């Protein structure tokens, strides 16, 4: 009974997290689902593999619906023996996105318990972490894997700290499970950033061990981490090995080309260009959004109302109410920061910041400096190209840093560290009664003084955006120049008003926190009442900001059918779907989206890890060749009248082209090579550069390129006698299986319009044969004369190996947990 009473507050906290998660996203209780733009695109990309699962009750691991064919390793592939995934599913029992919000809460709650924070403070601290604006907005747009990985970060840190505190068994088990769940979330960028925080904490703990002359504990600590991390990695072996195999094939791998599409020299040494990596760099001044949300205008979708200067300015020019409202909503972007797209400001909360400063003044635990260092480190790196000295160093010299873009997202580390410091400050304020008044006054002077300083020097801010000149130019058409200038000036004034209003807003919440703690010092409030008041205001502050960007209206939450089937076929799609042959479709005005993949086998798609070589083929040749597409189309037949050899080789039978009214129309390509064809010549090149240049000139129906570096000891002759009666027919087609019948009077070489990937195996009449990479991206086979059955199968060995490792690791993990529980129950001493 006493044991149950001990856990009673934690059960209440968990119940509270469930209720808050469901109430915040209450439409899920009505059977509705959240509309997430990224997940809509993912649904299009994943339709073929989901249909395959439903029909065959197995996993394809390959899709032909996107980018001419790619593995599904980063498209939610289900691996055998994924027991840690089943544990994760059990933890995410709430409907989405309430499940991720719940994970935020319980993960951070667990971390705070490691700091011996009492349940009430830990409860509010967990809510403050979960309601951090960035963590909510990524749920709104559909960055589910990112949210998933962030949710488990606090538990990894908790296990890490326990091990260093010499709680070897319990800390080791928590580390093992948390790391396994973190990796299973499959967002390696977030996990990679977490490693930086763990490195900073390691330096702190190693220094403490040195100070305490306790370095003899290091072997036990290291062994605990080794076993825990090894088993965690082992349970995720399938996904890790598959991702490692695929990474070089994807855009995250380094290009072999030494020149750019425009012919200039490629000087990039990173896997991706620095401009691409740092495109989303947080502005240095924009960092103030962390404590006052709309200092830089909020997000791109921020709307001004009828009280705005822009609205009144339009009225002064004679606009009607509706005209003024239209202009205000559509032509008055309030965001004026450095990033190209911002869904919402990364606001951590005014009271959270206030309490963080309190921790720095009042908490005597030195670990606060490690978390402060983690926050500052993350902030500096989030500036990206705005702090190029540091960013370039990390891109050039820190392993794997160049594999990830959107450097501003490293702020998730800051958004973990600052709430930890905040609750440490709140806890220490009540536990350490010495200098309470002094610490509180210093905190108020620092935090509120910072807001006052920003307000007094607001003239140092421009409140201008690069887009303002475009707005002015547009509005000046047919008007006197004063109109556009006045409009932009009114917009600047609205930005200043938002700036001032949010400084006052944050100041109000900080004053509330100060006043509440001051009344506690004066004996006017008891501790629990003080914590509840601060907690309510702290969460209320974040709640109302979050609701500006992720609401429960009909635009955000829709019927389950609308979310599960997000795309309706256009008339063009319907026309193309009448063709039952196997071919590919290229939607020119939207290649990098998932809609086309929902209906057709597309050469495009929506993925940050799309096949690198395939992407280059379009960038270097195909898109340039289609610049004058209008001149290539026969208006009577709506078909191409000009052959484009690379388009033909990729089996692109239809082009979806947008008309002036925005409708797609299908353009037929009558010149396609088909699913496979015999060639008469193999042109040997000696580098990727040479191959890319040759590809722009050859007739793919008769010749194919081969890179000598890929054809070591191939034994292939450069020419083949091509029989006019020779044929290859596709007999059976599945994502992971292709069957052809080939007939040829002579030995020949065939090219297949399928993406080359080393995981595929080919057989001729049941006997395995080599697959050659030809034409930079396609598969080629040497086929002896006669009639033969050719089969391609995708049964990746990497998945088989990984699933075996995962099974063994999972068994060992379970045995370790059972052993610890057994000894605990027996009352034997166990750390």
Under a CB-based contact definition with an 8 Å cutoff, are residues 148 and 185 in contact? yes
Under a CB-based contact definition with an 8 Å cutoff, are residues 382 and 410 in contact? yes
- Alpha carbons 138 and 585: distance in angstroms, whole number: 31
pLDDT tens per residue, range 352-389: 999 999 999 999 999 999 999 999 999 999 999 999 99
- State the average pLDDT over residues 283-294: 92
pLDDT grade for 827, boundaries at 50, 70 and 90: low
Other CB atoms within 10 A of residue 536 CB: 14
Predicted pLDDT at 720 = 85
Predicted pLDDT at 479 = 61
pLDDT score of 460 more than 60:
yes
pLDDT tens per residue, range 27-41: 999 998 998 888 889
Which H/E stretch holds residue 783?
Answer: strand 778-783
pLDDT grade for 198, boundaries at 50, 70 and 90: very high
pLDDT score of 2 more than 70:
no
Predicted pLDDT at 271 = 67
Predicted pLDDT at 25 = 93
The pTM for the full model equals: 0.90
Q: Concatenated DSSP letters for 681-736?
A: EEEEESSHHHHHHHHTTS-TTTEEEEEGGG-TT----SB----TT-EEEEEEEETT
φ and ψ at 624, to 5 degrees?
-70, -40
pLDDT tens per residue, range 224-264: 999 999 999 999 999 999 999 998 888 888 888 888 888 88
Percent of the chain scoring above 90 in pLDDT:
67
Q: Which residue has the higher pLDDT, 16 or 609?
A: 16
Token pair 């166990």 in the structure block, residue: 830
- Alpha carbons 220 and 218: distance in angstroms, whole number: 5
Under a CB-based contact definition with an 8 Å cutoff, are residues 378 and 413 in contact? yes
Range in 118-122, 770-774, 817-821 with the lowest mean pLDDT: 817-821
Range in 156-165, 453-462, 657-666, 740-749 with the lowest mean pLDDT: 657-666
Under a CB-based contact definition with an 8 Å cutoff, are residues 652 and 588 in contact? no
pLDDT score of 406 more than 90:
no
Residue 479 structure tokens: 């008007």
Predicted pLDDT at 313 = 87
Sheet holding 664-668, edge to edge: 584-587, 652-658, 664-668, 639-640, 633-634
Q: Which residue has the higher pLDDT, 823 or 754?
A: 754
Which of 252, 245, 242, 188 lies closest to 613, judged by CA?
Answer: 252
pLDDT score of 828 more than 70:
no
pLDDT score of 480 more than 80:
no
Whole-number mean pLDDT of the chain?
A: 91
User: 664 - beta bridge partners?
Assistant: 658
pLDDT score of 830 more than 60:
no
Residue 536 structure tokens: 């309510």
Burial of residue 643 (CB within 10 Å: 0-12, 13-18, 19+) is: middle
pLDDT grade for 591, boundaries at 50, 70 and 90: confident
Q: Concatenated DSSP letters for 503-525?
A: HHHHHHHHHHHHHHHHHHHTTSS
Q: Which residues contact 543 (CB under 8 A, 6 or more apart)?
A: 24, 131
- State the average pLDDT over residues 702-716: 79
pLDDT tens per residue, range 389-401: 999 999 989 998 9
Predicted pLDDT at 270 = 65
- Alpha carbons 530 and 427: distance in angstroms, whole number: 12
pLDDT tens per residue, range 632-650: 888 889 999 999 999 999 9
pLDDT score of 831 more than 60:
no
pLDDT grade for 430, boundaries at 50, 70 and 90: very high
Residue 141 structure tokens: 């747009």
Predicted pLDDT at 573 = 92
3-state SS assignment for residue 33: strand
Predicted pLDDT at 142 = 86
């Amino acid at each position: 009974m006493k044991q149950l009473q001990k856990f009673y507050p934690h059960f209440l906290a968990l119940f509270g997290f469930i209720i808050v998660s469901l109430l915040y996203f209450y439409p899920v209780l009505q059977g509705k689902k959240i509309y997430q733009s990224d997940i809509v695109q993912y649904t299009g990309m994943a339709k073929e593999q989901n249909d395959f699962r439903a029909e065959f009750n197995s996993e394809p691991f390959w899709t032909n619906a996107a980018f001419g064919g790619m593995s599904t390793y980063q498209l939610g592939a289900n691996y055998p023996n994924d027991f840690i995934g089943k544990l994760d599913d059990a933890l995410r029992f709430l409907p989405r996105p309430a499940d991720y919000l719940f994970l935020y809460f319980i993960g951070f709650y667990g971390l705070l318990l490691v700091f011996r924070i009492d349940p009430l403070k830990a409860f509010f601290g967990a809510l403050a972490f979960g309601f951090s604006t960035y963590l909510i907005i990524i749920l709104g747009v559909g960055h589910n894997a990112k949210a998933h990985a962030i949710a488990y970060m606090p538990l990894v840190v908790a296990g890490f700290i326990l091990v260093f505190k010499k709680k070897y068994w319990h800390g080791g088990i928590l580390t093992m499970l948390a790391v396994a769940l973190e990796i299973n979330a499959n967002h390696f960028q977030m996990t990679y950033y977490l490693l930086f925080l763990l490195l900073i904490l390691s330096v702190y703990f190693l220094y403490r061990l040195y100070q305490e002359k306790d370095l003899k504990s290091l072997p036990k600590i290291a062994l605990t981490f080794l076993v825990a991390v090894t088993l965690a990695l082992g349970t995720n072996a399938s996904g890790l090995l598959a991702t490692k195999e695929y990474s070089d094939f994807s855009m995250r791998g380094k290009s072999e080309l030494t020149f750019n599409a425009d012919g200039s020299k490629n000087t990039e040494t990173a896997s991706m260009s620095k401009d691409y990596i740092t495109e989303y760099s947080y502005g240095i001044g924009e960092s103030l959004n962390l404590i006052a949300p709309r200092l830089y205008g909020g997000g791109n979708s921020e709307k001004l109302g009828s009280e705005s200067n822009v609205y009144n300015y339009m009225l002064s020019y004679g606009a009607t109410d509706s005209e003024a409202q239209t202009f205000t909503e559509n032509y008055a972007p309030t965001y004026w920061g450095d990033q190209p797209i911002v869904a919402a400001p990364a606001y951590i909360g005014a009271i959270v910041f206030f309490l963080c400063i309190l921790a720095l003044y009042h908490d005597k635990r030195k670990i606060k400096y490690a978390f402060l260092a983690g926050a500052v480190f993350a902030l500096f790196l989030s500036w990206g190209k705005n702090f190029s000295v540091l960013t370039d160093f990390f891109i050039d010299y820190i392993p794997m840093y160049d594999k990830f873009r959107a450097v501003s997202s490293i702020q998730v580390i800051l958004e973990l560290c600052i709430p930890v410091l905040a609750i440490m400050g709140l806890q220490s304020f009540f536990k350490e009664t010495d200098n309470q008044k002094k610490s509180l006054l210093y905190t108020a002077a620092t935090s509120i003084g910072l807001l006052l300083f920003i307000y007094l020097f607001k003239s140092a801010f421009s409140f201008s955006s690069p887009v303002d000149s475009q707005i002015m130019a547009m509005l000046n058409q047919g008007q006197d120049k004063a109109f556009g200038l006045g409009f932009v000036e009114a917009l600047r004034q609205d930005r200043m008003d938002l700036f001032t209003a949010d400084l006052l807003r944050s100041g109000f919440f900080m004053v509330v926190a100060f006043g509440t703690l001051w009344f506690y010092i004066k004996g006017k409030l008891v501790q629990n009442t003080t914590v509840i008041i601060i907690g309510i205001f702290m969460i209320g502050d974040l709640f109302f900001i979050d609701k500006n960007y992720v609401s429960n209206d009909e635009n955000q939450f829709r019927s389950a059918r609308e979310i599960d089937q997000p795309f309706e076929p256009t008339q063009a799609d319907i026309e193309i779907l009448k063709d039952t042959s196997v071919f590919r479709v290229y939607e020119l005005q939207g290649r990098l989206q998932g809609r086309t993949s929902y209906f057709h086998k597309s050469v495009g798609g929506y993925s940050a890890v799309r096949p690198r070589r395939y992407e280059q083929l379009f960038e270097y040749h195909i898109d340039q060749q289609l610049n004058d597409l209008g001149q290539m189309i026969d208006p009577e037949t709506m078909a191409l009248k000009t052959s484009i050899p690379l388009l033909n080789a990729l089996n692109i039978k239809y082009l979806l082209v947008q008309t002036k009214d925005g409708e797609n129309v299908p353009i037929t390509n009558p010149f396609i090579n088909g699913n496979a064809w015999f060639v008469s010549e193999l042109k040997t090149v000696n580098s990727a550069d040479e191959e890319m240049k040759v590809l722009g000139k050859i007739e793919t129906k008769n010749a194919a390129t081969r890179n000598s570096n890929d054809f070591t000891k191939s034994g292939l002759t450069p020419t083949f006698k091509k029989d006019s009666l020779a044929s290859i027919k596709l007999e059976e087609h599945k994502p992971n299986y292709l069957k052809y019948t080939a007939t040829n009077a002579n030995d020949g070489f065939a090219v297949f319009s399928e993406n080359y990937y080393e995981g595929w195996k080919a057989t001729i009449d049941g006997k395995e044969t080599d697959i050659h990479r030809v034409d930079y991206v396609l598969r080629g086979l040497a086929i002896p004369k006669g009639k033969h059955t050719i089969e391609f199968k995708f049964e990746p060995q990497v998945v088989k190996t990984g699933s075996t490792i995962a099974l063994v690791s999972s068994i060992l993990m379970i045995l370790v947990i059972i052993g610890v529980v057994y000894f605990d129950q027996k009352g034997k001493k166990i750390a």
